[in-house]
Copies of this chain bind each other. A is one copy, B any other.
């Protein structure tokens, strides 16, 4: 259920955005151990006059493919968040040919009780819906 909003310039193909979504989702599943079907990504195609960046940021030129990824999930350790960012960057390069210079990310963390999903009942032991059968044994984290 972790919601991801992606803000990127107009002009990308649907296939590119599908690849970006798949790359992010694989990182979320691999690192945060979210369920495989727990993918909720919204892409916002922003016109040039609504995207206000500077041509150089942090000493690096900005390209047309700059994208801002706004993640939200339950609280994690700094190590997990760093691992997640690295996995997203790696996957975006492999799956969608996005160089790391084009990627900006921020994570909004929330308390576990701040989510509500489709009437599901979460097992407090595992953090997963009671109806799920493929919960990873070693983790109790969702969102």
Query: Taking CB as reference atom, which chain B residue is nearest A120?
Result: B58
Q: Is the CB of A58 within 8 A of B81?
A: no
Bitwise interface map of A from 93 to 131 toward B, beta carbon under 8 Å scored 1, else 0 = 000000011111111111101111111100000000101
- Compute how far the CA of A117 lies from the CA of B103 in the bound complex, rounded to whole angstroms: 6
Q: Which parts of A54-70 form the interface with B (CB within 8 Å)?
A: 54, 56-60, 68, 70
Asked if residues B119 and A114 are in contact (CB atoms below 8 Å), the reply is: no
Determine which of B17, B59, B82 lies in contact with A50 in the assembled complex, contact meaning CB atoms within 8 Å.
B17
Q: How far is the CA of A114 from the CA of B105 in the complex (A)?
A: 8
Q: Which residues from chain B contact A78 at a C-beta distance below 8 Å?
A: 111, 113
Determine the chain B residues whose CB is within 8 A of the CB of A81 once the complex forms.
113-114
User: Using a CB–CB distance below 8 Å, which chain A residues touch chain B?
Assistant: 1, 3, 5, 7, 14, 17-18, 21, 25, 35, 37-46, 49-54, 56-60, 68, 70, 72, 78, 81-82, 85, 89, 100-111, 113-120, 129, 131-132
